[in-house]
Amino acid sequence: MPENIIIREACESDLSILIKYNQALAKETENLTLNTDVLRLGIQSALKQKNCHYFVAELEGNVVGQTMITSEWSDWRNAEMWWIQSVYVHPDYRKRGVFHCIFKHIEIISEKNYSVKSLRLYVMKNNLIGIKTYKNLGMSNSGYLVYEKTPLPPINQHPKKIPSS
């Protein structure tokens, strides 16, 4: 693992690279094209929240990887769980220990934080490289499946129905 990788918390000046890397991540993993304006607002909001932190990896003065953590309260554990999200390493820097460094940085912070009891992430089931990476870092399948429902827009945003004659 290269010793010259610097891990730091992202800031507003990283916005353009975070947008670029999130767009690349969505395209690569789910073949999605993200709306740049929505993504910009989402990242700007994340950078201001107390329960959300972006971390970037720098190598030779360039941001080469990113990860975001968000906090979720667990009533069962009376503790926080940190969700690892938006994991991306530029293709030219993969298999060089970049994500390993980011993960270890987050792990050290979490171990110093009394209220954090778990690090979690979700991964696409066809992302075999990611699954192998996470297993090599000591993570295991929690057994949960993630379900999702996208809520409908508020009633006043539905298209107006044209009355029939």
pLDDT per position as a tens digit, 127-155: 899 999 999 999 999 999 889 898 877 76
In a domain, 147, yes or no: no
Is the distance from CB of 24 to CB of 63 less than 8 angstroms? no
In a domain, 164, yes or no: no
Q: What is the pLDDT of residue 163?
A: 56
Question: What pLDDT band is residue 73 in, cutting at 50, 70 and 90?
Answer: very high
In a domain, 83, yes or no: yes
Distance, CA of 52 to CA of 163 (rounded, Å): 46
In a domain, 87, yes or no: yes
In a domain, 129, yes or no: yes
Q: Is the pLDDT of residue 162 over 60?
A: no
pLDDT per position as a tens digit, 102-125: 999 999 999 999 899 999 999 988
Q: What is the pLDDT of residue 146?
A: 87
Q: Is the pLDDT of residue 46 over 70?
A: yes
**Token pair 């010793």: residue:** 3
At 122, which CATH number?
A: 3.40.630.30
Is the distance from CB of 68 to CB of 46 less than 8 angstroms? yes
In a domain, 22, yes or no: yes
In a domain, 163, yes or no: no
* Closest to 77 measured CA to CA, from 118, 120, 122, 121: 118
Distance, CA of 93 to CA of 89 (rounded, Å): 7
Per the rule left: phi > 0, alpha: psi between -120 and 50, beta: everything else, 90 is: beta
Distance, CA of 98 to CA of 94 (rounded, Å): 7
Q: What is the total count of domains within the chain?
A: 1
- Structural domain including 100 reads 6-137
In a domain, 25, yes or no: yes
Q: What is the pLDDT of residue 158?
A: 52
End-to-end CA distance of the chain: give it in Å, rounded: 72
